[in-house]
Structures are given as C-alpha cells and as structure tokens.
Amino acid sequence: MNKTKRSLFSVIVAFAMAPLFITSQAHAADKATIAEGARIYAQSCAVCHQADAIGKPGFAPSLSNPEFLSVASDRFILATMLGGRPGTGMPSFAYLGEDKGKAVLAYLRSFATLPDRSVAVDAEPPSKGDVGRGKESFDLICSTCHGRKGDGYMAGGTGTAIGRAGTITPASDGFLRETIKTGRSNTRMLGFSGPDGMANLSDQEIDDIIVYLHLLADNEGS
C-alpha cells in the first residue's frame, strides 16, 4: 500500500471509528455523572431517603420506586429537590445548584426499570371534577395515610403531604392521576383503579379527588 492509499485508509478508519468514540465518551460521561450524583445523594439525601433511595415509611418516600420514576418528570424531581416542599420535612437544596441537582437526578434515574412515561403523563388534561365528591372520597380513602388535610408525615400520617402546595404545585394532574391509579409497588401507596385496585375508583372519581387536593393546597394553613 503506497503512502497516499495508507493516508486515505487512515482517514476512512478515523471517520468509521468516530461514532464509536463519541458513543463511548457519552457513556463514560453518563457513568461519571451518575457516580457524582451518588456521591452527592449520600451526603445530602440518604439521611432521610435511605441508601439506594428506598425511602422510610412515615418519614421520607422512596425515590427509586419504578412507578414513581416512570411518571415523574425531570422538571418535577428537580423542582422538588431544589425548591423543597414548604410546610413539610423536605427542605430546599437550592445550594446544590442545577448541575449537581441534575447529577442526583441521573443517579435516581439509574434505578429505573420501567419505561419513562413522564412526557405523556404531563400532557394529560387538567382534572375537572366535583370538590364535594372529591372530599368524600379523600376522607374515606386517602386521609387514613395522608392525614385529614393531606398534611402527611407532619400530621402523623404514613403517606406524603399531598394536600400541601409544595407537593401539588410542581406536580402535573397527570402525575397525580397516574399515581392514584397505579400506586407504587413495595410501598404503602397502593393502586386505586381497576379490578385489583384497593377501591377501583373511576376516572371521574380520581379527578374529583385531584380537584379537592388543589383546594387543600390553595387553602393551606386555613
């Protein structure tokens, strides 16, 4: 092979290998980001949410739960992490900044085992329902774990503060709707839709509850 052919061959090989190099670089960056997120999580989050983000009943929810990760958008998780949930035990971690917050997010996403449905879930329409019927269902079904006014752990409940603005404001109605429907495996939050659901609520009954949750959040503290 003469010099010209060797040079041409080298160029062709370089172009052929470039995608592989870029891909390996991307995977390396992902692994590095996840490792950084794991380090930050261990320092800032594990004290409440426990190792591997499994949570602690009555204290802090699981952040590695597959159903949660399937319906929770990056926006929702980052907003909760950096903004906290006022009126609950979840403080703001704004000091981490967006880059470190995204590293923690990447670490949490590494636990995902179900398809990410968050884009479709967030695109679901807002809930329309009857506040009175929603309150009846909430009092009968939800308040046992989440508290009479949805105050959650702070009121001695075993569920999160779903009646607080800090929880409701960053969440889409689709996220709330799908969480009520399917629940979260290996937690005390069971599904409430379908023949195997705890109560087999209809879509309208679920929307009634969500409308009531918004009312609770709007009237927080009253």
pLDDT (tens digit, 9 = 90+) per residue, 9-20? 444 434 444 444
- CA-closest candidate to residue 147, choices 137, 131, 159, 135: 159
Q: Are 187 and 65 in contact (CB under 8 A)?
A: yes
Supply the pLDDT for residue 221. Answer: 65
- pLDDT tens-place string over residues 80-108: 999 999 988 999 999 999 999 999 999 99
**How sure is the predictor about 199, in pLDDT bands with cuts at 50, 70 and 90?**
confident
**pLDDT tens across 97-152, in order?**
999 999 999 999 999 999 999 999 999 999 999 999 999 999 999 999 999 999 99
Amino acid at position 144, single letter: T
What pLDDT score was predicted for residue 2?
55
Return the amino acid letter for 214.
Answer: H
Comparison of pLDDT for 91 and 26, the residue scoring more: 91
**Is-contact 128 211, C-beta < 8 A?**
yes
Contact 107, 96 (CB under 8 A): no
Give the global pTM: 0.84
- What the block records as the tokens of 192 is 């409430």
CATH number of the domain at 120-218, out of 3.40.190.10, 3.30.465.10, 1.10.760.10, 3.20.20.210?
A: 1.10.760.10
pLDDT at 59 over 50: yes
Q: What number of other Cβ atoms are within 10 A of residue 124's Cβ?
A: 14
Residue 197 has pLDDT above 80, yes or no: no
**Alpha-carbon span 168 to 176, nearest angstrom:** 8
Mean pLDDT of the chain, nearest integer: 88
- Domain boundaries of the chain, sorted by first residue: 120-218
φ, ψ dihedrals at 111, nearest 5°: -85, -10
Mean pLDDT to the nearest integer, 16-35: 57
